[in-house]
């Protein structure tokens, strides 16, 4: 989580995270453990295909808070 809070740029949400991975912009991906698997399955698959590291965070609320938003987030990608 420290990497995420210190990151200059990141995208929040499953769609934006998947897009960043497909475009080759994602450097690391964070996924909430309490997110529904069917929601984050595509992101996990894309990470495996691209060889990107996945860091799991306990809750969507924690992940959202690390991004500075007041709602939960299922997935976040550090970009650059």
Question: CA of 66: how far to CAs of 8, 13, 54, 58, in Å?
Answer: 13, 13, 16, 12
Q: How many domains does the chain have?
A: 1
What H or E segment, with its residue span, contains residue 79?
A: strand 75-79
* pLDDT of the chain, 80 residues: tens digit per residue: 556 656 579 999 999 999 999 999 999 999 999 999 999 999 999 999 999 999 999 999 999 999 999 999 999 999 97
pTM: 0.91
Task: Say what the pLDDT of residue 1 is.
Answer: 55
Task: Say what the pLDDT of residue 2 is.
Answer: 57
**Residue 61: partners with Cβ closer than 8 Å, 6 or more residues away:** 72
Range of the domain at 71: 2-79
Q: What is the CATH number of the domain that holds 65?
A: 3.30.1330.30
């Amino acid at each position: 989580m420290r990497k995420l809070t210190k990151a200059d740029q990141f995208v929040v949400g499953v769609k934006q995270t998947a897009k960043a991975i497909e475009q080759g912009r994602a450097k690391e991906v964070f996924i909430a453990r309490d997110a529904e698997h069917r929601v984050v399955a595509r992101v996990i698959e894309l990470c495996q295909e691209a060889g990107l590291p996945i860091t799991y965070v306990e809750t969507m609320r924690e992940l959202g808070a690390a991004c500075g938003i007041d709602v939960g987030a299922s997935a976040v990608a550090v970009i650059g």
